[in-house]
Chain A
């Protein structure tokens, strides 16, 4: 009887997951180093100068009751498009473990290394995704603090573009090589064909080289070509690394790429925090608002999840003392993510921190809850399994099965109703 019941649940969950899919692509704008949530998505203007530092003000958004940090002026005009998740918490204050938690949804210290959620999506879409571009792309490189292929292996890791999208020629590793024209490449290929006489895997290699030639000189090249974008569009995103990377991400979404990681560094501001934020926050505000607005205008926001955050937040309390002289430390107890599109609703705030922002007092969210929700919206069962070479099938998100580690998927802010059997 129990067996029948379990089978029934399984069937129900399969059809539920299939129907829950809203998104085709995910863009993760990853602020590597840990951005300050109290200066961006969860301001605490009443906490006093020891907390607000130089940023005493806030900016009212176009949604009643939602305020952002004073530098987030563009994002404030479009709060109806995204939700702020203010209750994120994992308690880890080290880059390695914080990053591991936010990228895998697992907690570190276990016997196996989990793959990043980009790698998992790449693995899950391996049969259905037919695009010529890789399934998982990092603009311009992934974080290298752990092997993010995890136990799935390197095959599902991100394709790192390298290069500098903000410059005249964006050199994409293996694809755009400024030294080599089509003509030169053709002549080299002719030389190689004449040279090669050994039989090892010859047919296979020849065929793969043919695929590569199509990849190099075909449509995929255009996906990375920013020169053909109108200058007004490039300006709107901001002519800097982050802005142009976000523009590349939009083009990759148009090409159907399922997972794009836009990684931007420099957020680990222990010292001179406010001077650095004065320069960095306007760029973030411009890039992220341009991305969301552009996706929306092209009708792509409904099928594209945009996430923005880092491995943890920064201490709400400013370290005025030497040697920090106005810095913010690592902070994993309470921080924020911005989520938009692909089934995530807009105009909402989920969760709440206390008056200084140091503690989550309403609706805490664990990394596995956020990532599990992304899986669900991508049509992947967050309670499903992944194959491990020696351990058999392992849960895709082990923490989600543990009541102490999970606070539940984010049904409050998505267009999918919590199924009855889960209640």
Chain B
């Protein structure tokens, strides 16, 4: 009896796979690509352009445009800011000036698509004033300034190792800090007079080397870390990028590599790692490779392989703002004098975890106290839904939205009204059923066109279709 089932399953499997691997619709791909690469919703006119285009290669063309856009670079900068713990106060104490310099440095690395191994090398071998050599903020930002703590974090960030037991930390024991007369500026320098250790450095894979005086000991370690022979270094970045795209790593948690925490798909990890090393650690190419994968182009689960993810806090808040056409204002309250951000700054571009708002925290903006990816909590909670359902703040913003006022006064009937709003919020046109639903709602409750526009906006901002990347 069991054999028959196996036989039937074998017959059905290819057919089922064919269905499963079928690509998602254009409107789904468009929204998914924008939110994943830029953390922003597409503008209505970009939606129309893409949806109406007949170019067979339009998906790849879209990815090329997106990956080089300023929005994409700044969104990637947010991911890096999270794990490098960029914030002006507690516990990093970089202060707004240091944060600004550090963020600018990261932005330039990403803008110029500096190879990953070079970027890490420059970060780890940094020295000088944290204002003038911004990469030195890597060391400046640690509250606990010990070689062991630097080394534990380097292991966590670049090798996914939460528990290092080797003596590589000695390579970071020459690092010293000197304050200047400039407020909050510090010089990171190396103490070349420190006596070289008698013991050999023995790293996790058995590599050994000795250290000599009058040299930067970090260099020997960084040469080992970033060399193509050290596959783990490349694997961790490949896996992290996969995690940034899908919300779940091939090795998961992405920063917890252990012998008993194996990759779910070793072949996939190997292929991507080979590709990454062969491309000379090209992060943008790696991202594109992942975005062109079947998984990213698949239908949403349970029909397909793409697992929906609740949007990160900053992305939700920005999506609400761009849908309404009204933006929040941000300022840094620590330390005095306060720092004010220009109007219409996106939450994804704030660059400083100290700068926040009640709404951002409600949806789980990270405080950047630790370098773990798991610090970001994207679970949906009742308080988040309460904010969307019944907050006077959001209600006022919908009512005062210049877009809602405009469409409420100028719409050419319900289908036009519905599609105009839906393109802004959900990056698609309204369906016939939805239009019928809106018409019924309007008639039953005796609403004006303006009040209908407000209720449609409210409904869409509350929908899981809006809150999730799917």
Residues of A near B390 (CB, < 8 A) are 174-175, 177, 180, 185, 212, 216
A10 to B137, CA, bound (A): 44
Of chain B, the residue at the smallest CB distance from A183 is B445
Of chain B, the residue at the smallest CB distance from A212 is B386
Q: Is B194 located at the chain interface by the 8 A CB criterion?
A: no
State whether B391 touches A194 (Cβ < 8 A): no
Residues of B near A199 (CB, < 8 A) are 302
Residues of A near B336 (CB, < 8 A) are 95
Which residues 375-411 of B sit at the A interface, judged by CB distance below 8 A? 375, 377, 380-383, 385-387, 389-393, 395-396, 399
Q: Pick the 5 closest A-B CB pairs, nearest first.
A: A174-B386, A208-B382, A200-B308, A111-B143, A177-B392
Most chain B CB within 10 A, of A96, A184, A187, A195, is at A195
State whether A177 touches B367 (Cβ < 8 A): no
Residues of B near A178 (CB, < 8 A) are 392
Residues of B near A96 (CB, < 8 A) are 89, 334-335
Residues of A near B463 (CB, < 8 A) are 192, 195-196, 198
Q: Is B441 located at the chain interface by the 8 A CB criterion?
A: yes
Binding site for A on B (CB under 8 A): 89-91, 143-144, 300, 302, 308, 310, 333-336, 356, 358, 361-362, 364-365, 367, 369-370, 372, 374-375, 377, 380-383, 385-387, 389-393, 395-396, 399, 434, 437-438, 441, 444-445, 455, 458-460, 462-465, 468, 470
Most chain A CB within 10 A, of B370, B392, B434, B441, is at B392
A212 to B387, CA, bound (A): 10
A199 to B334, CA, bound (A): 42
Q: Is A113 located at the chain interface by the 8 A CB criterion?
A: yes
Binding site for B on A (CB under 8 A): 95-96, 108, 110-113, 134, 144-147, 149, 151, 153-155, 157, 159-160, 162-163, 171, 173-180, 184-185, 187-188, 190-192, 194-202, 204-205, 208-209, 211-212, 215-216, 389-390
State whether A208 touches B434 (Cβ < 8 A): no
Given contacts A96-B334, A195-B463, A208-B385, contact A112 B468 (CB under 8 A): no
Q: Which of B374, B392, B462 contacts A179 (CB 8 A)?
A: B392
Residues of A near B386 (CB, < 8 A) are 174-175, 212, 215-216
Of chain A, the residue at the smallest CB distance from B393 is A173
A216 to B391, CA, bound (A): 11
Residues of A near B333 (CB, < 8 A) are 144-145
- Could you list some 20 contacts between A and B, CB below 8 A? A110-B91, A145-B333, A149-B361, A149-B367, A154-B365, A173-B392, A173-B393, A174-B383, A174-B387, A174-B389, A174-B391, A177-B390, A179-B395, A185-B390, A191-B437, A194-B437, A195-B459, A201-B380, A390-B370, A390-B372
Of chain B, the residue at the smallest CB distance from A176 is B392
State whether B383 touches A200 (Cβ < 8 A): no
Given contacts A112-B369, A201-B380, A212-B386, contact A188 B465 (CB under 8 A): no
A170 to B119, CA, bound (A): 53
A134 to B144, CA, bound (A): 35
State whether B470 touches A200 (Cβ < 8 A): yes
Q: Which of A146, A159, A180, A198 contacts B90 (CB 8 A)?
A: A146
State whether A147 touches B367 (Cβ < 8 A): yes
State whether B385 touches A205 (Cβ < 8 A): yes
Residues of B near A200 (CB, < 8 A) are 308, 310, 464-465, 468, 470
